[in-house]
Amino acid sequence: MDTTTIVIVLAGVVALSIVAIVISQMRERARIERARRMTTLEDSYKRANGLFHELPGQYLTKELKLLLVDRMESACKQLAALKSEKPIKAWLQELEQLKPKIQSDQDKRPPVKIDSPDKSRQIREQLKDLFKLIETMHKAGQVDGKIAKKQLKYVLFLVHKTHADLHIFRAREYIRQNELRKAIHEYHMASTEMGKSKDNPLAAKVIKSLRTRIKELESMATEGQAKQSTEEQHRLDKEWDSFLDDDSWKKRADYDD
C-alpha cells in the first residue's frame, strides 16, 4: 500500500471519528436539554398545583383558579410530548374533572385565618410566586395583556389585604384584652394597608368602616370605658371576614383602567 493510500485511509478514519464524536455530543446535548426541559415543566406544574391548594380559599377567585389549571394543563401536555415517566395521564384527568367544578362554582377551598406574622409572611411569599407566574404566562403568550394586568393588580391587592388581615386580628385580640390604644394602632395600620388598594371600591368601603371604628374606640378610650359594644365588634368582624365574598367589585372591572 503506497503512502498516498495510507494517508487517505487515515484521513477517512479521523473524519469518521470526528463525525461520531460530533453526533455523540449532539445526542448528549439533546438528552441534557430534554432533561432540563422536563425538570422545568415538572417544576411549573408543581408550582401552580401548590399555589392552587395552599393559597387561602378566600383569595382564589374563579379566574385565578382557571388560570392555575391552564398552567398545569399546559405543563402536562408538554411533558406528555416529551414522554415523561410522571403520571401525566392521571394529572390531566384530575384537571379535566376539576375545571367544570370551578366553572360552576362547585370547587370550594377552605378559608385561612391569618393570625400570626409567620402565616402572613408565608402567604405573602406565595402571592409573590403567583405574581411571577402570571408575568411568566403573559410573556409566554398564555395570558393576554388585559387579563394579566387585571390579575396582577388583584394579586397586589391581596398582598395588602394579607398585611391588613394580621393587623385586624391583632386589633381584635387587643380589644378582648381591653387594650384599646393598641387596638386603635392596629386598626390604623390595617387602614393604611388597605389604602394601598384604594382604587378597589370594596377596599374603600372597608377603610371607611375601619375609620369609623377607630373613632368609636378613641371615644371609648378617652372616656376610660373598658367595655365595648359586642354587637358592633361582631358586625365589623363579620364585614371583614366576608370581605372577599362580595363579587361586585370584581365584576366592575379591570380596576378602572
Please report, in tens digits, the pLDDT of each residue of the chain (257 residues total). Answer: 567 777 677 777 777 778 778 777 777 777 777 778 888 899 999 999 999 999 998 889 999 999 999 999 999 999 999 888 889 999 999 999 999 999 998 888 888 888 888 888 899 999 999 999 999 999 988 888 999 998 998 898 898 888 888 898 899 889 888 888 899 999 999 999 988 887 777 788 878 888 888 888 888 877 665 454 555 556 556 655 555 555 544 444 444 44
Angle of helix 88-103 versus helix 62-81 axis, rounded to 10: 160
Provide the phi-psi class of 225: left if phi over 0, else alpha when psi is between -120 and 50, else beta: beta
Q: pLDDT (tens digit, 9 = 90+) per residue, 211-246? A: 888 888 888 877 665 454 555 556 556 655 555 555
pLDDT at site 244: 57
Distance, in Å, from the CA atom of 170 to the CA atom of 185, rounded to the nearest integer, reads: 10
Cβ within 8 Å of residue 156, ≥6 positions away: 131, 197
pLDDT of residue 117: 86
DSSP secondary structure letter of residue 57: G
Domain boundaries, the chain: 115-257
Please give the model's pTM, rounded to 2 decimal places.
0.74
pLDDT of residue 185: 93
Q: State the amino acid at position 92 in one-letter form.
A: L
What pLDDT does 32 receive?
Answer: 76
